[in-house]
Amino acid sequence: MGEPSGGPVADAGSHRIPSWGGSRETVHYLALFASVNSAGEGDRVDLHSRGYLRLLLVTALLGVPLSLIAFGFLVAVHQLEHVVWQTVPHALGFAEPPAWWPILTIGIAGALVALAVTHLPGRGGHAPVEGLGAGAMPPIELPGVLLAAAASLVGGAVVGPEAPLIALGSGLALLAVRGSRTARNGTTATIIAAAGSAAAISAIFGNPLVAAVIFLEVLGLGRRQLMLVVLPCLLSSGVGALLFTGMGRWTGLEIGALTIGELEPSRLQAIDVVLAIPLAAVVALATWCAQVAGRRTARLAASHPLPVTVVAGGIAGVSACVYAVITGHSPMEVALSGQATLPTLATDPGAWTTGALVALLLCKGVAYAVCLGTFRGGPVFPAVFLGAALGVLAEIIVPGMTPLSALAVGLAAGAATTGLPVTSVIMVVLLLGDAAAGQMPVVILGVVTAMVALEFLPSTQHTDWRTDSHAEVPT
């Protein structure tokens, strides 16, 4: 995966789908929206037209099946994680997964991902180091994307579920309207794709508002164009969240959303504000180091996917094993995305000694870096966890810093890896719950500092899809 290759394109009516490396005909999701600003007269959708009202109805209706499919995917992944990390070790006589367990599971996952990359259409989606967006893709590529993502998540690769869900929602949404009049209009196809993604990720961040705000920020449109896309996304994500919540309560099944338990509110101290800047800068630097390593690994994996992905899985597994051996903690704290460990880290940081926290950061950081360039999933969940861990460590080693403020700054700086400031602030505020009211200044300061720090570091050559003048809409 990488820059648009300028290779073959597939016809889609008056629009064309650019090729994104090799024979793959997948458009990066954020690039879909560049055409909304430049839509021709025949493609324009008016807020006051009956067609737009019908479009809202379509997105609301699509939100139902797409949310159910996304719910089923997340439940399947969650249940398989339980089997791999609990049921099988127990059956083998271990009360907890042994220290060497991640070497086996992530290594096998690496082989499965590499096979999906080399043998299935679409190369299993994009590497997490490329960002959140996988794209509105041809339906033939969806099986490879889901297989690679499921293998990565279940096996314990340090990636999150957000990117494959975005790809799943947008791809299935375009499949649902294929051949219809809606699909032949480039602007409405773009809106349908965005709404499908919003429905699919409506609950994984813990609140449907985050899904809508993500699209609000990435579009970079004028007010009227913004409303054209954001209203369907907001509606679809609301429908999706309702179904996620209802299905969870009705079935008793879990999907593993990014959430934190109740936190005790606290007042900001002057030292919290002063230390927020260096702490956020350290989180940004750590993230940048992981991105650099991830991009170098991705370049190696592009030419030798099977050996590089398996070796990367082995490195991640050994990192988890080393952590378990030297700390006595579960290797699951290094393996997997971190969403299951984050609530304990936030509410009971005393469960880790200073040495154990340092080991957690180093081992998970190494595993995250190699997984970024080889496995398939999202980059956000592990980055948020690592930011939180750095915040907890800062509170321990820096006298006077308020624990909640240190956690808030770490979360904020980690979330800023999305490159979307408003999304990052809202995500952290929702994670903190009632305790967020007194921490808003340091949350905002943490996000801004991290993003500014990343701008001053040497580029990791991450494509800014919003400025890609060649982006066109798939239908």
Residue 33 has a pLDDT of 45
Report whether 134 contacts 31 (CB < 8 A).
no
Lowest-confidence pick of 59-73, 231-245, 273-287, 379-393: 231-245
Please give the pLDDT value at position 229. Answer: 66
The answer to whether residue 386 scores a pLDDT higher than 50 is: yes
Query: Which whole number is the average pLDDT over 338-347?
Result: 94
Residues counted in the chain: 475
Q: Which helix (H) or strand (E) is 275 found in, with range?
A: helix 270-303
- Chain Cα centroid distance, residue 388: 16
Q: What pLDDT is attached to residue 460? A: 54
Cα-flanking dihedrals φ and ψ of residue 422, to 5°? -65, -40
Q: What does the pLDDT average to over 436-462? A: 87
Contacts 24+ apart (CB under 8 A), 19-22: 20/135, 21/123, 22/123
- Mean pLDDT, the chain, rounded, equals 81
pLDDT over 80 at 245, yes or no: no
In this prediction, residues 87-101 reach a mean pLDDT of 96
The helix or strand, by DSSP H or E, that contains position 17, with its residue range, turns out to be strand 15-17
Q: Which residue has the higher pLDDT, 140 or 183?
A: 140
Of all helices (H) and strands (E), which one includes residue 225? helix 223-251
Digit-coded pLDDT (tens) for 307-325:
999 999 999 999 999 999 9
Which string of DSSP letters, residue by residue, matches 178-203?
TTSHHHHSHHHHHHHHHHHHHHHTTT
In this prediction, residue 34 carries a pLDDT of 46
Amino acid 284: pLDDT: 95
Two tokens, residue 179: 């051949």
Q: What is the Cα–Cα distance from 174 to 200, expressed in whole angstroms? A: 13
Identify which has the larger pLDDT, 209 or 160.
160
Beta-bridge mates of residue 12: 15
pLDDT at 358 over 80: yes
Nearest-angstrom CA–CA distance, 21 and 2:
7
Flag the least confident range among 82-96, 256-270, 294-308, 391-405. Answer: 256-270
pLDDT in tens, 436-448: 989 999 999 999 9
pTM: 0.82
Q: What pLDDT was estimated at residue 29?
A: 39
Amino acid residing at 343: P
Q: What pLDDT is stored for residue 20 in this prediction?
A: 24
